[in-house]
Structure 1
Amino acid sequence: MVKMKFNPYNKEIEVSQGDNLLEAVRKAGIFMDTPCNGSGACGKCKVKVISGNVISTNSRHITDEQKKSGYVLACQSIIEGNAVIEIPETESSSMHGMKIEDFSSRREKDIFQRSKEQILKSGMKFDTYVKKEYLELDPPTLDDNISDFERLKRHIKKQLNYNNVFCRLPILRKIPKLLREANFKITITHIPRGKGKTTIINIEKGDKTKELYGVAVDIGTTSVAACLVDLYNGELIAKASSGNAQIKYGADVINRIMYSTKGNGLEELNHAVIQETINPLLNKMYMDSNINKDQVVSFIVAGNTTMSHLFLGIYSNFIRMEPFIPAFVKAPFIKASELNIEVNPETFIYLAPSVASYVGGDISSGVLSSGMWNSEENILFIDLGTNGEIVFGNSEYLMTCACSAGPAFEGGEISCGMRASAGAIEKVRIDGNHEPTISVIGQEQPLGICGSGIIDLICEMMFTGIIDRRGKIIKDLNTNRIRFDEHGIGEYILSFKEQYDLDRDISITEVDIDNFIRAKAAIYSGITTLLNNLAMDFTAIDKIYIAGGIGNSLDIGNAVKIGMLPDIEQSKIHYIGNSSLMGCYLTLMSEDARHKLEEIANSMTYVELSVESQYMDEFVSACFLPHTDIDKFPTVKECLNKSV
């Protein structure tokens, strides 16, 4: 055995000689962003060998200068002896504090109100299915010596008219001591089960009828967002977000599915999303709001189909294999105790239903909150997260597909990319001298660039003549921000390391640009193919709703200019925030909304793009800025002509 020390975490572990360095980092419990899951393709797991013997293979991601300084790719390194390893801040800093849409801004409050009104206008009620009641029981006597549970049932029947009262073993264990400590004055939390039936899920001392809480959670491939809600008035008590700890096993669902099939991979992925991600978020919200977890009695979760499987610890390998079959699309209610989630153990977990292998409950939930199911207008709904999902339709029909966009919108597959967290460059402008102006989340020093910033950057580079419409950097420009490596691959320097005391320059390479062009092409060609299936074109679109992790900072005009969105009147395009989390909130507050959510999932028609012959032709044509056929983007064509 050899000893490994990891700085700045000051963690020491023992591993075997010959072990992989990335696996040692994981064993130490240190989060490391590894989008490619250790294949060496992404270059994100750079670490610095301070001392010791580590053997590493050469990588194009490690420059000669970095190699001399001791940098290696952890996934491509073997431990030969005791070593001290330094993990750069940029490789681990974006796990927590993700920038999410949390209903706090004026625009998000407006979105929230509009979604709520959609439910109310359709005749649905906001009324949680969980109830709380205060009871004063007669203490036992020699003349009235029935059991504690029978006494409780007698008073429930008398005061609440429930003839059949049920509870599980954990509640039965609480009853004897709690009744006496409370002097037989208690509050029960229960779930009515039809006429005359109810199930007790919690018992508290005294009158606690004003305290009833639920949690809504959006499990994204890249980030997880949660909010704690007062079930009586719908008020958001607390909110929290972080990166999904499963990221260390790959940036996309395919890598994670493959990892889940190896050894204890499925258990590790399940542990990562629940114990390392969701439970810490819950405990943070409880601490911020001074609420006990036993008071949380309703829990709604949405995620894509793979995330839903991994959340429940269900084998998911058949999702990625033709004919792409999930184990389930609608899960039964599950007790929180079965998943070790930090809420009242008797709480039922409800998982938003999926549609197909690559259109999950996050999309069903998003469509619910968008209100398009109740609209006469033709609405195009686009979720721009790690995966790209699209829904088109109105109150009469809903058609959906999933695009293989990859993680580029979340900063994946981009050399200096990162998620939208503190230190991410989210907005970029470039002047006539090719000098950039940047906006950084949290107004901190830049650590990388997120999806909205990449869209801005590519658009600005195209319109200032730094790149051509293929995404290739123009040579011989008079600026020190452009350089080419020994293979002739160009890059544009957005932030010099000396300016911000960084370990490396923040830049975008031609390889990065090509990856992002493919991602935006997947979205555009998915839209086109979906409309073609309905014998429609872009003129049929009345509104476009943009949702997902790309965030509030998305410049819709720039998204059109690079060819990600169709060139339609921009007043028709609206950003609707974290629609999945919003849909979970609506489901948390309304049983009617839950039934509508299930109806939406059942009614969507899924189009599998991998078997659509036209899709690949559309995709290839869209792998250009903005498109090979510039006439499809008349306003962009006009702007380009003016910039020449």
Structure 2
Amino acid sequence: MYKVRFLPMEKEIDVLEGETLLEVIRKAGIFIDSPCNGNGTCGKCKVKVLEGKVYNSKASKAITDEEIEEGYVLACCSKVIQDITIRIPQESSSAMYGMKIESLVGSKKREILKRAKDQVLNYGMEFVTYVRKDYIELSIPNKHDNISDVERLKRHVRKTLGYTQIYFRLPLLRRIPQLIREADYKVTITHIPRGMGKTTIINMEIGDKTSRLFGVAIDIGTTSVSTCLVDLYSGELIAEASSGNAQMKYGADVINRIIYSTKINGMEKLNHAIINETINPLLYKMYQDAKVSRDEVVSLVAAGNTTMSHLFLGVYANFLRMEPFIPAFVKAPFIKASELGIEVNPETFIYLAPSVASYVGGDITAGVLASGLWTSDENVLFIDLGTNGEIVFGNKDYMMSCACSAGPAFEGGEISCGMRATNGAIEKVTIDKTTYKPTLKIIGEGNPIGICGSGIIDLICEMMLTGVINRKGRLNKDLNTDRVRFDENGIGEYVLAFKEEYNLEKDIYITEVDIDNFIRAKAAIYSGVTTLLTSLGMDFTNIDKLLIAGGIGNSLNIENSIMIGMLPDIDRSKIAYIGNSSLMGCYLTMMSEDARRKLEEIANQMTYVELSLEPGYMDEFVSACFLPHTDINKFPSVRERFEKL
């Protein structure tokens, strides 16, 4: 048994000989970024050994000889063989906390939310919660009226509210005797009418509490989780909370998490991470901010991609990643909150937005509901840019969807100094065309520690326009600047921030390999859009609107995205960012039974296109692996700008 001490958190635990540092760090309850889930390929789980030694079980190209000399090791490749002290670098642990996540608060975001709500109302749908609250005064028992507490309650509900069949479960039954007496037989019941004279009582409170009724909407993203607390009477958002998805420590992408779920206790750990380490803390933060009790929250709607939905419910997901890619379910049953341990009223039914296919999930159906695509006479292209890339094209008459294998690059994965949009991430970049010196905009306004997806888009665009790289993504060896350098193998890199400039432990840079990885990611989006339109006999001229959703859109520069060939070169006035459409869709579903039915209709009507089976898709993808494209005539505005350089 050895002791492992962690800095800067000043924590120490006992571990067995031979355990990997990655598992030891997880056991200690410390978050460390590990996008590849311990395969030794991403290099994000670097730690510095300050005292003692570890056994390096395998070599990895993700760590340099210089870093090894400075005492750095990859946690996933290092085993404990003696007492050690290690330091967790800020960039390794920052992914979970301080994430810059889209808020629904603020005038612009509330305007988007209002527009989504108005679309529901204008379509003739009711916008009112299905949950009811009623204040009742029970008769006080005496020797002439000595029926049971439950029969007394049922008698009053039948007489005053008109229901003939009243149901409730054991947890509420256990509270009734003391509660009604403490309340002097004056209580408020929360119940869900079920039609045909039936209702189910899910909560009981002392006195008249009919003015308070709340629900929660949750967007379960692969990288981040966003929640909002809603007043079910007014429809107002009264609190919000967001954080990274704690499942990130088991892998950045859905494939790595599915693989981890098949290991011993893997599913339990993933399920615990999303519910107990992510969702419940967010709920309690909102309750504290809004001064709301758990039992007052009686409605919950959640959405996630198909894998996240499986892992949220603890359903075996391994067949999702194997051909022919079959999910266990696309529409989940109603589930009691108590079955999952979600900290809302235990009797609350959880509604999970339905998926379409293995790689088009409930987050997309909820997003389409919020986008209004289903009401449009015009052709709308909907792109969700997150850890995965999902695309929907259509209008009120039809909807086609596909998923792109973009990989984790948009979240900073597979990039040497890449990171998610957290404090310290470079989110915007410009480069001086004379000195080649970059100007950086950093989340949190502190020193940079890495670069996130929107920053990488800006960086690659600026490098292309200033001649730092060519259209293949290769660095120019003839530039008179120390920011471009090459190693002994001829692999080049561009330095965004020298460690001396910001008092960093190491330089922040992007390599030609990083650029190539990102070009493939942007090519996946563009070729996905092209192939989906081609399957319908259409092209970019048929796009009347392009709506962008997802986390990267917070700081996404539309012009730069077109310049590098990620988005089609269309009239910019057609393009709009609509924020966290998945969370908005959950909100609409929670507030309107009509909207919930429309959501299920959307899921049923959406046709899924498997890109890998489409003729010409790989040719489209290869052609798009260029800046902006091998055929620059597909990007006339970019061609014109190049001609002026």
Aligned partners of 1:394 and 1:97: how far apart in 2? 37
The one-letter code of the counterpart of 1:47 is V
How many equivalent residue pairs? 643
Aligned to 2:613: 611
Are 1:100 and 1:551, in contact at CA under 8 Å, matched by a contact in 2? no
1:502 deviates by 1.9
| Letter matched to residue 74 of structure 1 | A
Partner of 1:102: 103
Q: Distance in 2 between matches of 1:107 and 1:533?
A: 36
Of 578, 596, 601, the residue aligned with 1:594 is 596
- How far the C-alpha of 1:55 sits from its partner, in A, is 1.7
How much has 1:78 moved relative to structure 2?
1.3
Partner of 1:235: 236
2:367 matched residue in structure 1: 366
Contact 2:43 2:62 survives alignment (8 Å): yes
The answer for the alignment partner of 2:501 in structure 1 is 499
CA distance in 1, matches of 2:591, 2:506: 48
Measured after TM superposition, the shift of residue 141 of structure 1 is 0.7
Q: 1:531 is matched with which residue?
A: 533
Say whether the 8 Å CA contact 2:166–2:199 is kept in structure 1: yes
Superposed, 1:58-207 pairs within 5 Å as: 58-207=59-208
SS in 2 for 1:491: strand
Residues 395-442 of structure 1, C-alpha deviations (whole Å, 9 max, x = no match): 000000000001111111111111112221111111111111111122
Contact 1:99 1:551 in 2 (8 A): no
Note the 1:201-280 alignment, pairs <5 A.
Answer: 201-280=202-281
CA distance in 2, matches of 1:10, 1:403: 42
- CA offsets 1:432-488 (integer angstroms, 9 cap, x no match): 111111111222222211111110010000000000101111113111211112222
Aligned-residue offset at 1:499:
2.1
State whether residues 420 and 551 of structure 1, in contact with CA within 8 Å, keep that contact through their aligned partners in structure 2. no
CA distance in 2: counterparts of 1:430 and 1:324, whole angstroms:
44
3-state SS of 1:613 partner: coil
Rounded Cα–Cα distance in structure 2 between residues aligned with 1:140 and 1:450: 66
- Report deviation, 1:97: 2.9
What one-letter code is carried by the residue in structure 2 that aligns with 1:596?
K
Structure 1 residue 501, shift from structure 2 partner: 2.1
Residue 590 of structure 1 deviates from its aligned partner by 0.7
Query: Residue 198 of structure 1: CA displacement?
Result: 0.3
Greater shift after overlay, 423-432 or 462-471?
423-432
* Counterpart position of 2:341: 340
Which residue identity does 1:569 align to in structure 2?
A: D
Instruction: Report the residue type matching 1:635 in the other structure.
Output: S
In the other structure, the counterpart of 2:414 is 413
Contact 2:132 2:191 in 1 (8 A): yes
CA-CA distance at 1:48 after TM superposition: 0.4
Deviation at 1:8, TM superposition (A): 1.4
Structure 2: distance between partners of 1:486 and 1:258 = 37
Q: Please state whether the residue corresponding to 1:120 is helix, strand or coil.
A: helix
Residue type at the aligned position of 2:457: I
Q: More displaced, 283-292 or 384-393?
A: 283-292
The CA RMSD measured in Å over matched residues stands at 1.0
Give the match for residue 637 of structure 1.
Answer: 639
User: Is 1:519 matched up with 2:521?
Assistant: yes
Q: For 1:316-358, what per-residue CA distance to the aligned partner results, in whole angstroms no more than 9, with x for missing partners? A: 0001111110000000110000000111111110000000000
TM-score (normalised: structure 2): 0.98
Structure 1: how far apart are the matches of 2:630 and 2:386? 25
Partners of 2:606 and 2:87 lie apart in 1 by 49
DSSP-derived class of the 1:442 partner: coil
Q: How many Å apart are 1:195 and its aligned residue?
A: 2.4
Question: Is the 8 Å Cα contact of residues 96 and 241 (structure 1) preserved in structure 2?
Answer: no
Q: Give yes or no for the alignment of 1:484 onto 2:491.
A: no
Deviates more, 1:283-292 or 1:618-627: 283-292
State the 1:109 CA deviation: 1.7
Q: Aligned AA for 2:611?
A: L
SS state of the match for residue 550, structure 1? helix
What TM-score does the superposition give when structure 1 sets the normalisation length?
0.99
- Structure 1 residue aligned with 2:472: 470
Letter in 2 for 1:552: N
Structure 2, gaps ≥5 residues long: none
- 1:624 & 1:135 partners in 2: Cα distance? 69
Q: Which amino acid aligns with 2:588?
A: L
3-state SS, counterpart of residue 469 of structure 1 = coil
The SS at the match of 1:81 is coil
Partner Cα separation in structure 1 for residue 102 and residue 109 of structure 2: 7
Q: Distance in 1 between matches of 2:528 and 2:202?
A: 46
What is the rounded CA distance, in whole Å, between the counterparts of 1:454 and 1:231 in structure 2? 41
> What displacement does 1:92 show?
0.6
Deviation per CA, 1:530-550, whole angstroms, max 9, x where unpaired?
001100011100010000110
Match of 1:466, SS state, is coil
- Name the CA distance, whole Å, in 2 between partners of 1:239 and 1:447: 27
Q: Tell me which moved more, 94-103 or 259-268.
A: 94-103
Q: 2:300 aligns to what? A: 299
Q: Secondary structure at the match of 2:151?
A: helix
Q: Which range moved further: 481-490 or 620-629?
A: 481-490
CA contact (8 A) 2:222 2:308 kept: yes
Q: Deviations over 1:186-221 (max 9, x none)?
A: 111100010211001111111111111100000111
Does the aligned pair in 2 maintain the 1:115–1:371 contact within 8 Å? Answer: yes
Partner SS, residue 493 of structure 2: strand
Output the CA distance in 2 between the equivalents of 1:158 and 1:500. 73
Cα distance in 2, alignment partners of residues 390 and 503 from structure 1 = 40
| Cα distance in 1, alignment partners of residues 502 and 394 from structure 2 | 48
Shift in Å at residue 62 of structure 1?
2.6
Unpaired runs of 5+ in structure 1? none
Q: Does structure 1 conserve the Cα–Cα contact (< 8 Å) formed by 2:41 and 2:60?
A: no
Partner residue of 2:579 out of 567, 577, 580: 577
Aligned-partner Cα distance in 2 for 1:241–1:97: 9
Of 274-283 and 50-59, deviating more is 50-59
Kindly provide the CA deviation profile for residues 145-201 of structure 1, in whole angstroms up to 9, marking residues without a partner as x: 000011111111111111110000000001000001111111111000102110011
Question: Is the Cα–Cα contact under 8 Å of residues 421 and 441 in structure 1 kept in the other structure?
Answer: yes
What SS does the corresponding residue of 2:133 show, helix, strand or coil? strand
- Once the two structures are overlaid, the 10-residue window that deviates more, 588-597 or 50-59, is 50-59
The answer for the alignment partner of 2:16 in structure 1 is 16
Distance 1:361 1:294 in 2: 26
Q: Quote the Cα distance in structure 2 between the aligned partners of 1:116 and 1:297.
A: 21
- Residues 2-45 of structure 1 show CA distances to partners (whole Å, capped at 9, x for unaligned) of 11111112222221111111111111111111111111111000
With 58-67 and 599-608 compared, the bigger mean Cα shift is at 58-67
Instruction: Give the letter aligned to residue 15 of structure 2.
Output: V
For residues 424 and 328 of structure 2, the distance between their equivalents in structure 1, rounded to whole angstroms, comes to: 39
Q: Distance in 1 between matches of 2:95 and 2:502?
A: 18
Indicate if the aligned counterparts of 2:225 and 2:242 stay in contact, CA closer than 8 A: yes
Note the alpha carbon deviations across 1:236-277, whole angstroms, 9 max, x for none.
Answer: 111111111111111111111111111111111111111111
Q: CA deviation at 1:137?
A: 0.8
CA distance in 2, matches of 1:323, 1:566: 31
Query: Residue 602 of structure 1: SS of its match in structure 2?
Result: helix
Return the alpha-carbon distance in structure 1 between the equivalents of residues 322 and 641 of structure 2.
44
Mapped to 1, the partners of 2:497 and 2:235 lie a distance apart of 44
Distance (Å, rounded) in 1 between the aligned partners of 2:93 and 2:506: 15
Code of the residue aligned with 2:304 in structure 1: it is G
**SS at 1:551's partner residue?**
helix
Paired with 2:201 and 2:490, the residues of 1 have a C-alpha distance of 69
Q: Within 5 Å, give how 1:546-561 maps onto structure 2.
A: 546-561=548-563
Match of residue 389 from structure 1: 390
Distance 1:12 1:613 in 2: 56
Paired residue for 1:287? 288
Matched residue, 1:35:
35
- Secondary structure of 1:637's match? helix
Three-state SS of the structure 2 residue aligned to 1:443 is coil
